[in-house]
C-alpha cells in the first residue's frame, strides 16, 4: 500500500485528490497544485496510515520510512533547500487534516527543521538574524507543547520574565540577542522537564511531529468534537508535511484567511482578515486583532488600518483572481488560508467554508441562479438540521434594548440567558434547565462542551474567524465575538462594561446578527419565511416523494405547521388537551371514579371541550388529513398532587378525600410505561374512547356544515399489540360514527388505524392490517420496547453507549436502522401484503431527523410527521433522500 502522496511544483500524486484518503486539507492542496495555483510543495501521509497506526499499537510499517524520505526529497528538489542542511535549511510545517474539517481540534507544528546549526543558516539566507532566532524559539515552544507534551505555561513564563528583565511590554521589542538568550533558556527548560535535550536531529523532529498529529486524533477534545458533529472515529486524520513559507519576514510579508463569500450573511463579496508581518497562527488565535481584506469591508466598519486591497494592491489582485478560480473549480464558497512571503503569494489551504444556515441558504440559491450549480444541487447543499437556526425567533426590532456594547456579529440569532464565565458552569446550569450565555475573554477548544450547552456565546477578544466564531457558527449558536468594550474578571466573576457591573447569574441578551450585547431579556419575533427560504423549499418540494405532516395538538401549533408547509397532522396527542388547567379537574374526576357511571358524569363535562378542540384544529387544517390519537398515557400521570388538588377533585366528584386517595393508591403502577395505558384504557374503559370518537365526528360535522373543505379525520388507536384489540376499538369508533351521522343526517369520510409501537404489533402487522386502514410508526415507544431501554431515563448511560460505539447515534434521536428499522421494514411489508393501499407513516421524534427520514424514504413510507418547527427540515431532508 502506498501511504505518501506528493504535491506542488507541477506534481500532484493524488490526481484531483480523494478526501477520504488524503483528508480534506491534503486533497485540496493536491487539487490546487493540479490546477497550477501557487502551493508550497509538500506531501500527505494518508488517513489509512492513521488507522493502521492505531491498529498496530503506534508503530509504522517499514515501507513508510523510504516513502517519507521520498516526500522530503520532493520538497528539497523544488525549493533547492536541504532538510537539516546547516547552510540553507529546509523548514517544514506538519499539520493534521481529516476528511471533515475539525478546526483547532488537532495538532500542528511549524518551523520544523530548526536546530542549533540550521538556525545560523536561516539567519544567513534570510539576512535576518532576529527572524531566525524568533522562529527557533517558536519552534521549541510549539514542539515542546504539542510533541513532548511539556507544560506550556513554563515557556510562556520564561518569555514574560525575559521581557520584564529588559523592560519590554511587547514581543516585537525583543532583539535577535534576546531571542537567542531565550532559546538557551528554553533548551534548559526542556532538559529539566523532559530529562533529555531538545531533539537536534531533524528526522527525529519530523517523526515526533508525525506521531503527535496521528496521536491527536484520539485527544479528548477531538473526541468531543467528533461526537457533537457525528464524525466517525474510524476515519482517522492525514498528516500534511509542507515547505514553510513565512508571513513574518517584514512589511512585504503577510498572512491571512479569506472566504470567497461572506460566511455569515452569504453575500457575494470577498470576506477576510489579514495581518502584515505575522505567522498564520496569529490570525486564528486572536492574539493580534486582524485587519480587513477589502476596502469595502474596512469602510463599512469605519476601521483605520489599511485593508490588504489598499496596502498590497498587486498581491491582492492576484489573490482575488485565485478566489475566482477556486470558486469555479470547487463550485462552492471557499475558506482559504494564504501567506505572502516578501511579496510572493502562497496558498496554504482551501476548503468548502463553514457557513451559517442563513448564508448556506443564500449561497445555494444565488449559485443556482448564477448557473454555478443546479437547483437540485442547491437542495443538496443546505444541511436540513441547520435550517433550525433560521426558523427560530430573532429579537423584536420594536422592543426596547438596553445596549451595553457592540462586538462582531460572529454567528447569527438572538439568545438570552444567565451569565456564566466558564464552560463547566455553563454545562452544569444548562443541565438544571437554565438558559445560559457563556462569557469568555476568548474561547479555546477546551470550552466546546460549554459552548454546546450555552444558548449563546460572548467573547471579549478575537475576530470573525476566531475559534469562538467558527465553532459557534458550526453549532448554530448565536455568538458575539471581540466585544472589546467589556472586561471580564474571571476570579470575582464580574463583567464590566461602560461603568456597569454584571455578575454571574444576571440576565444578558446577545444578538449574533448585529453584534449587540444587551442587559436583561429582549422579546423575540418569528422569522421571515419567504425569500430564499421559500425558493429553496419550492425546489425541494419538486423532488420530494415523502409527504410531511406535523405533530400538533393546538390550533396555534397547527397554524405554524401549515405555514411551514405541513400537509396534514400526523399525530394529535389528545392527552395534551386533558392537561389544560380548566379541565384537569374533570379529567381527574373521570380517572378516580370507581364506576362507569361516575366516569360518564365526568366525560360529559369533557365532551364539549374536546369537540371544540377538534373543531378548531379541523378549521385550520381544512382539506388535509388529521390523525387524532385516542387517549394513551398511563392514568397515574393525571393524578392530583398534594392536598389542595385532592380536595378540589373530591368536591367536584362529591366523594371524600380519603376515598379518592385510596383510589389513587390503587392506580399506582411499578412500570407505568408498560402498564395501564394506550388501547388498554379503551378496552377497560370503553366510554373514554366513545366520548373522544363522538367529539371527533361531531366536530367534523360542525366544520363541514360551515362550508369549505371537509376535514379528513384519521382515528388512531395507540399501543396495539394484537389485531383483536384493534378490532374491539374500531368497533367502538365505527358504532359512534354511525350514531353521530344518523343523529345529524350528515357524514364525513374517515379512517381508523393504529400505531405500530410494540414489537408484537410489527410482527403481526399482516393480521393487524386486516382491521387497520393505516399504520403510524410510533418509534419512540417502538425504540423503547425493542431495545428495552427507557425513553425517560436512558440519557444517563446512552452517551457512553455512543462513545463506546455500541450505537452510532442516540437511538431515540436517529432510528436504530439495524434493529428497530428491521421491524419497521417487516411491518410495512406484511401490512402491505394484506392491504396493498395501506397508508404508512411515522410520528415518533425520528420523523424530524434527517437520517431517519432517509430511512423512511428507502422503506417507502408515505409520510413523516414532525413537530411544527421541524417540518421544513423534514421537507428538505425528504427531498435530499429522494435525490
- One character per residue 409-448, x = contact with Mg ion (rule: CB under 5 A): ----------------------------------------
How does 51-90 read in b/e, with b if 16+ C-beta sit within 10 Å? bbbeeeeeebeeebeebbeebbebbbebbebbbbeeeebb
Which does residue 263 bind out of ligand PEP, Mg ion, none, counting CB within 5 to 8 angstroms by kind? none
287 DSSP 8-state letter: S
User: Which phi and psi angles does 39 have, rounded to 5°?
Assistant: -115, 130
Distances (CA, A) of 726 to 64, 672, 741, 753, 754: 66, 21, 22, 8, 7
Q: Which stretch binds ligand PEP (CB under 6 A): 221-229, 774-782, 853-861, 875-883?
A: 774-782
C-beta of 632: minimal distance to ligand PEP in Å? 6
- Closest CB to ligand PEP among residues 294, 627: 627
Sequence-distant (≥ 6) Cβ neighbours of residue 27 within 8 angstroms: 14, 16, 17, 18, 19, 21
Instruction: Look up 479 and say whether it is catalytic.
Output: no
Sequence-distant (≥ 6) Cβ neighbours of residue 132 within 8 angstroms: 119, 120, 122, 123, 126, 176
Query: Which of 285, 287, 256 minimizes the C-alpha distance to 272?
Result: 256
- Closest CB to Mg ion among residues 130, 676: 676
Residue of the chain from 263, 778, 821, 868 that contacts ligand PEP (CB under 6 A): 778
61 DSSP 8-state letter: -
629: cell is: 390519537
810 DSSP 8-state letter: -
Catalytic annotation, pick one of 479, 843, 846, 856: 843
Q: Which stretch binds ligand PEP (CB under 6 A): 74-82, 212-220, 410-418, 772-780?
A: 772-780
Residue of the chain from 779, 814, 852, 859 that contacts ligand PEP (CB under 6 A): 779
**781-820: contacts with Mg ion (CB under 5 A):** 781
Query: Which of 540, 572, 542, 519 minimizes the C-alpha distance to 865?
Result: 572
How far is the C-alpha of 473 from the C-alpha of 266, rounded, in Å? 13
Which does residue 273 bind out of Mg ion, ligand PEP, none, counting CB within 5 to 8 angstroms by kind? none
Q: Which stretch binds ligand PEP (CB under 6 A): 2-10, 310-318, 658-666, 775-783?
A: 775-783
C-beta of 791: minimal distance to ligand PEP in Å? 8
Q: Which stretch binds Mg ion (CB under 5 A): 350-358, 388-396, 425-433, 777-785?
A: 777-785
Q: Classify 35 as helix, strand or coil.
A: coil
Instruction: Look up 843 and say whether it is catalytic.
Output: yes
627: cell is: 390523525
Report the C-alpha dihedral over residues 861, 867, 868, 873, rounded to 10 degrees: -60
C-beta of 865: minimal distance to ligand PEP in Å? 8
Catalytic annotation, pick one of 467, 558, 846, 856: 467
- Closest CB to ligand PEP among residues 347, 729: 729
**623-642: contacts with ligand PEP (CB under 6 A):** 632
448: cell is: 466546546
C-beta of 778: minimal distance to ligand PEP in Å? 3
- Closest CB to ligand PEP among residues 657, 673: 673
Residue of the chain from 257, 457, 560, 571 that contacts ligand PEP (CB under 6 A): 571
Burial class (CB in 10 A: 0-12, 13-18, 19+), 434: middle
705: cell is: 356544515
C-beta of 874: minimal distance to ligand PEP in Å? 15
Residue of the chain from 37, 617, 843, 876 that contacts ligand PEP (CB under 6 A): 843
**648-687: contacts with Mg ion (CB under 5 A):** none
Q: What angle is formed at CA 847 by the lines to CA 842 and CA 852, rounded to 5 degrees? A: 100
How far is the C-alpha of 610 from the C-alpha of 626, rounded, in Å? 15
- Closest CB to ligand PEP among residues 759, 778: 778
Which does residue 779 bind out of ligand PEP, Mg ion, none, counting CB within 5 to 8 angstroms by kind? ligand PEP
How far is the C-alpha of 218 from the C-alpha of 262, rounded, in Å? 33
How far is the C-alpha of 482 from the C-alpha of 490, rounded, in Å? 17
The H or E element that residue 187 is part of is helix 176-194
Query: Which of 608, 645, 629, 737 minimizes the C-alpha distance to 677?
Result: 629
C-beta of 287: minimal distance to ligand PEP in Å? 50
- Closest CB to Mg ion among residues 14, 778: 778
* Partner residues linked to 507 by β-bridges: 418
How far is the C-alpha of 528 from the C-alpha of 149, rounded, in Å? 50
Which does residue 14 bind out of ligand PEP, Mg ion, none, counting CB within 5 to 8 angstroms by kind? none
Query: Which of 617, 530, 570 minimizes the C-alpha distance to 853?
Result: 570
User: Which phi and psi angles does 271 have, rounded to 5°?
Assistant: -140, 130
- Closest CB to ligand PEP among residues 222, 716: 716
- One character per residue 721-760, x = contact with Mg ion (rule: CB under 5 A): ------------------------------------x---
Residue of the chain from 366, 511, 781, 862 that contacts ligand PEP (CB under 6 A): 781
**63-102: contacts with ligand PEP (CB under 6 A):** none
- Closest CB to Mg ion among residues 236, 718: 718
Tell me if 844 contacts ligand PEP by CB under 6 A. yes
469: cell is: 466564531
- Closest CB to ligand PEP among residues 770, 792: 792
Longest dimension (CA), the chain: 104
Tell me if 778 contacts Mg ion by CB under 5 A. yes
C-beta of 762: minimal distance to ligand PEP in Å? 13
Residue with cell 527572524: 131
- SS in 3 state form for 512-581? CCCCEEEECCCCEECCCCCHHHHHHHHHHHHHCCCEEEEECCCHHHHHHHHHCCCCCEEEEECHHHHCCC
- Closest CB to ligand PEP among residues 252, 780: 780
Tell me if 757 contacts ligand PEP by CB under 6 A. yes
Tell me if 676 contacts ligand PEP by CB under 6 A. no
Q: Which stretch binds Mg ion (CB under 5 A): 70-78, 172-180, 385-393, 770-778?
A: 770-778
Q: Which stretch binds ligand PEP (CB under 6 A): 282-290, 356-364, 383-391, 773-781?
A: 773-781
Tell me if 720 contacts ligand PEP by CB under 6 A. no
Which does residue 243 bind out of ligand PEP, Mg ion, none, counting CB within 5 to 8 angstroms by kind? none
Tell me if 845 contacts Mg ion by CB under 5 A. no
- Closest CB to ligand PEP among residues 97, 844: 844
Tell me if 44 contacts ligand PEP by CB under 6 A. no
Residues of the shown chain interacting with Mg ion in the complex, contacts defined by CB under 5 A: 757, 778, 781
Residues of the shown chain interacting with ligand PEP in the complex, contacts defined by CB under 6 A: 571, 573, 632, 757, 778-781, 843-844
Residues annotated catalytic, as ranges: 467, 843
Amino acid at each position: 500500500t502506498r501511504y505518501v502522496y506528493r504535491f506542488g511544483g507541477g506534481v500532484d500524486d493524488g490526481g484531483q485528490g480523494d478526501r477520504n484518503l488524503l483528508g480534506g486539507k491534503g486533497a485540496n492542496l493536491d487539487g490546487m497544485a493540479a490546477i497550477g495555483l501557487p502551493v508550497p510543495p509538500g506531501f500527505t501521509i494518508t488517513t489509512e496510515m492513521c488507522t493502521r497506526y492505531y491498529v498496530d499499537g503506534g508503530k509504522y510499517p517499514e515501507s513508510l520510512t523510504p516513502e517519507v524520505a521520498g516526500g522530503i526529497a520532493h520538497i528539497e528538489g523544488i525549493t533547492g533547500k536541504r532538510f537539516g542542511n546547516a547552510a540553507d535549511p529546509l523548514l517544514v510545517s506538519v499539520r493534521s487534516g481529516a476528511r471533515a474539517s475539525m478546526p483547532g481540534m488537532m495538532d500542528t507544528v511549524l518551523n520544523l527543521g530548526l536546530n542549533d546549526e540550521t538556525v545560523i543558516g536561516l539567519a544567513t539566507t534570510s539576512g535576518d538574524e532576529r527572524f531566525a532566532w524568533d522562529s527557533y524559539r517558536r519552534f521549541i515552544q510549539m514542539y515542546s507543547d504539542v510533541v513532548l507534551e511539556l507544560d506550556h505555561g513554563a515557556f510562556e513564563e520564561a518569555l514574560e520574565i525575559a521581557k520584564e528583565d529588559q523592560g519590554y511590554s511587547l514581543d516585537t521589542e525583543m532583539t535577535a540577542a534576546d531571542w537567542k538568550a531565550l532559546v538557551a533558556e528554553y533548551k534548559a527548560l526542556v532538559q529539566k522537564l523532559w530529562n533529555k535535550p531538545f531533539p537536534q536531529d531533524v528526522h527525529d523532529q519530523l517523526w515526533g511531529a508525525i506521531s503527535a498529529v496521528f496521536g491527536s486524533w484520539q485527544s479528548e477534545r477531538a473526541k468531543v468534537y467528533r461526537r457533537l458533529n457525528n464524525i466517525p472515529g474510524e476515519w482517522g486524520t492525514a498528516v500534511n508535511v509542507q515547505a514553510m513559507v513565512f508571513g513574518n519576514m517584514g512589511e512585504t510579508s503577510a498572512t491571512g484567511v479569506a472566504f470567497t463569500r461572506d460566511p455569515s450573511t452569504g453575500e457575494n463579496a470577498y470576506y477576510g482578515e489579514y495581518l502584515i508581518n505575522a505567522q498564520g497562527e496569529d490570525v486564528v488565535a486572536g492574539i493580534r486583532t486582524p485587519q480587513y481584506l477589502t476596502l469595502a469591508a474596512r469602510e463599512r466598519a469605519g476601521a483605520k488600518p489599511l485593508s490588504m486591497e489598499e496596502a498590497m494592491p498587486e498581491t491582492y489582485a492576484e489573490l482575488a483572481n485565485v478566489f475566482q478560480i477556486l470558486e469555479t473549480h470547487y463550485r462552492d464558497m471557499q475558506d482559504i488560508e494564504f501567506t505572502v512571503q516578501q511579496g510572493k503569494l502562497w496558498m496554504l489551504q482551501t476548503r468548502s467554508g463553514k457557513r451559517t444556515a442563513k448564508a448556506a441558504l443564500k449561497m445555494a440559491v444565488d449559485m443556482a441562479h448564477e448557473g454555478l450549480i443546479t437547483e437540485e444541487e442547491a437542495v443538496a447543499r443546505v444541511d436540513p438540521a441547520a435550517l433550525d437556526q433560521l426558523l427560530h425567533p430573532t429579537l423584536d426590532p420594536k422592543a426596547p434594548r438596553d445596549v451595553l456594547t457592540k462586538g462582531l456579529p460572529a454567528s447569527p440569532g438572538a439568545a438570552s440567558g444567565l451569565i456564566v464565565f466558564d464552560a463547566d458552569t455553563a454545562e452544569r446550569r444548562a443541565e438544571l434547565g437554565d438558559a445560559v450565555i457563556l462569557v469568555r475573554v476568548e474561547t479555546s477548544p477546551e470550552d466546546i462542551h460549554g459552548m454546546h450547552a450555552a444558548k449563546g456565546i460572548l467573547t471579549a477578544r478575537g475576530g470573525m474567524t476566531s475559534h469562538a466564531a467558527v465553532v459557534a457558527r458550526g453549532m448554530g449558536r448565536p455568538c458575539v465575538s471581540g466585544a472589546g468594550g467589556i472586561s471580564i474578571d474571571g476570579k470575582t466573576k464580574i463583567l464590566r462594561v461602560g461603568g456597569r457591573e454584571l455578575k454571574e447569574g444576571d440576565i444578558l441578551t446577545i444578538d449574533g446578527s448585529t453584534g449587540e450585547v444587551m442587559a436583561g431579556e429582549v422579546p423575540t419575533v418569528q422569522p421571515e419565511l419567504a425569500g430564499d427560504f421559500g425558493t429553496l423549499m419550492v425546489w425541494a418540494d419538486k423532488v420530494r416523494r415523502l409527504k410531511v405532516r406535523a405533530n400538533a395538538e393546538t390550533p396555534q401549533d397547527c397554524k405554524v405547521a401549515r405555514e411551514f408547509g405541513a400537509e396534514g397532522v400526523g399525530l394529535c396527542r389528545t392527552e395534551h388537551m386533558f392537561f389544560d388547567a380548566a379541565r384537569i379537574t374533570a379529567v381527574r374526576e373521570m380517572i378516580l371514579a370507581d364506576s362507569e357511571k361516575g366516569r360518564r358524569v365526568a366525560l360529559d363535562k369533557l365532551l364539549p371541550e374536546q369537540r371544540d378542540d377538534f373543531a378548531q384544529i379541523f378549521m385550520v387544517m381544512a382539506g388535509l388529513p388529521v390523525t387524532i390519537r385516542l387517549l394513551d398515557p398511563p392514568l397515574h400521570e393525571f393524578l392530583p398532587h398534594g392536598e389542595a388538588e385532592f380536595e378540589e377533585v373530591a368536591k367536584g366528584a362529591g366523594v371524600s378525600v380519603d376515598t379518592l386517595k385510596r383510589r389513587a393508591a390503587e392506580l399506582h403502577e411499578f412500570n407505568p410505561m408498560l402498564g395501564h395505558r394506550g388501547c388498554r384504557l379503551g378496552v377497560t374503559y370503553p366510554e373514554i374512547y366513545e366520548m373522544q370518537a363522538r367529539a371527533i365526528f361531531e366536530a367534523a360535522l360542525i366544520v363541514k356544515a360551515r362550508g369549505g373543505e371537509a376535514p379528513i379525520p384519521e382515528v388512531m388507536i395507540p399501543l396495539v399489540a394484537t389485531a383483536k384489540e384493534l378490532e374491539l376499538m374500531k368497533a367502538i369508533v365505527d358504532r359512534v360514527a354511525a350514531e353521530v351521522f344518523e343523529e345529524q343526517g350528515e357524514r364525513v369520510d374517515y379512517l381508523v388505524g393504529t400505531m405500530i409501537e410494540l414489537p408484537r404489533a410489527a410482527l403481526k402487522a399482516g393480521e393487524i392490517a386486516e382491521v387497520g386502514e393505516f399504520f403510524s410508526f410510533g418509534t419512540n415507544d417502538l425504540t423503547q420496547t425493542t431495545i428495552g431501554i427507557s425513553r425517560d431515563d436512558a440519557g444517563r448511560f446512552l452517551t457512553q453507549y455512543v462513545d463506546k460505539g455500541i450505537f452510532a447515534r442516540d437511538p431515540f434521536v436517529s432510528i436504530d436502522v439495524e434493529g428497530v428499522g428491521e421491524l419497521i421494514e417487516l411491518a410495512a411489508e406484511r401490512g402491505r401484503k394484506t392491504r396493498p393501499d395501506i397508508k404508512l407513516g411515522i410520528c415518533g421524534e425520528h420523523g424530524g431527523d434527517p437520517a431517519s427520514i432517509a430511512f423512511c424514504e428507502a422503506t417507502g413510507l408515505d409520510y413523516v410527521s414532525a413537530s411544527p418547527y421541524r417540518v421544513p427540515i423534514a421537507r428538505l431532508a425528504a427531498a435530499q433522500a429522494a435525490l
